[in-house]
Amino acid sequence: MTKTEGPRLFADDEAIARIGRGLLDRSLPREEWTHEAHLAACLWIITERPEIDPARDMRGIISAYNEAVGGVNDDHGGYHDSITHSFIAGVRAWLARSDATTLVDRVNGLLMAPEGRRDWPLAFYSPERLFSVAARRGWIEPDLKAFPMGDTEN
- Higher pLDDT: 124 or 4? It is 124
Residue 148's pLDDT is 82
- Higher pLDDT: 97 or 5? It is 97
Report if residue 153 sits inside a domain: no
Instruction: Provide the percentage of residues in the chain whose pLDDT is more than 70.
Output: 94
Structural domain total, the chain: 1
What is the rounded average pLDDT of the residues 74-85?
Answer: 97
Range of the domain at 79: 13-137
Query: What does the alpha-carbon distance between residue 5 and residue 25 come to, in Å, rounded to a whole number?
Result: 30
What pLDDT, in 10s, does the model give residues 13-31? 999 999 999 999 999 999 9
Contact predicate 11/104, CB 8 Å: yes
The reported pTM is: 0.92
Report if residue 66 sits inside a domain: yes
Report if residue 20 sits inside a domain: yes
Query: What does the alpha-carbon distance between residue 108 and residue 141 come to, in Å, rounded to a whole number?
Result: 28
Residue 82 pLDDT > 50, yes or no?
yes
Name the CA dihedral angle for 136, 152, 110, 4, rounded to a multiple of 10 degrees. Answer: -30
SS3 category, 127: helix
Report if residue 144 sits inside a domain: no
SS3 category, 123: helix
What is the rounded average pLDDT of the residues 63-72?
Answer: 97
Query: What does the alpha-carbon distance between residue 63 and residue 79 come to, in Å, rounded to a whole number?
Result: 6
Report if residue 151 sits inside a domain: no
What is the rounded average pLDDT of the residues 40-66?
Answer: 98
What pLDDT, in 10s, does the model give residues 102-153? 999 999 999 999 999 999 999 999 999 999 999 999 999 999 999 986 444 4
